[in-house]
Amino acid sequence: MWKCEHVVGAGLDVREVIDLYRASTLGERRPIDDEARFARMLAGANLVITARAGGRLIGIARSLTDGSYATYLSDLAVDAEFQGRGVGRDLIRATREAAPQAALILLAAPAATGYYPRVGFSRHESAWTLEALEEA
């Protein structure tokens, strides 16, 4: 079994989290080779939920929220060894419960486009993004 916990992102062990991103495959699409930048991503996220099994970090939901209207779920990652057991669903539940009046918004990674409808999300036909001003 695993346990979900609301934590302070800056308090996490950056390398442990990078290992999880790698083990989930999400690391392929996140700047895991730039540890300083990755540490800023963790410290700047104000709603971070971790899932641990016997102390081992097996999942994370990293979000930005105003606590009352909108929560942007930037990263959802579950260690491949633990995928398909409900950890992702549990991380989403804990993220919603931390800011129950806020709607959850996200951009699905290609491997997860089939996942979000399974866990209750509806597709938004008018989502728009602007690329970052600076290259990493």
Ligand X SMILES: CC(C)(COP(=O)(O)OP(=O)(O)OC[C@H]1O[C@@H](n2cnc3c(N)ncnc32)[C@H](O)[C@@H]1OP(=O)(O)O)[C@@H](O)C(=O)NCCC(=O)NCCS
Binding site for ligand X (CB under 6 A): 24-26, 76-78, 83-89, 108-109, 111-112, 114-115, 118-119
Q: What is the C-alpha to C-alpha distance for residues 96 and 35, in angstroms, rounded to an integer?
A: 28
Least distance (Å) between residue 29 CB and ligand X: 8
Q: Whose Cβ is closer to ligand X: residue 8's or residue 80's?
A: 80
What's 83's DSSP letter?
A: T
Q: What is the C-alpha to C-alpha distance for residues 93 and 74, in angstroms, rounded to an integer?
A: 15
Q: Whose Cβ is closer to ligand X: residue 94's or residue 108's?
A: 108
Least distance (Å) between residue 136 CB and ligand X: 18
Least distance (Å) between residue 51 CB and ligand X: 9
What's 121's DSSP letter?
A: -
Tokens of 20: 């999880």
Least distance (Å) between residue 83 CB and ligand X: 3
Half-sphere exposure of 4 (CA within 13 A, CB side): 21
Q: Whose Cβ is closer to ligand X: residue 46's or residue 74's?
A: 74
Q: Name the closest residue to ligand X (Cβ).
A: 88
Q: Whose Cβ is closer to ligand X: residue 14's or residue 24's?
A: 24
Q: What is the C-alpha to C-alpha distance for residues 112 and 47, in angstroms, rounded to an integer?
A: 21
Q: What is the C-alpha to C-alpha distance for residues 115 and 22, in angstroms, rounded to an integer?
A: 19
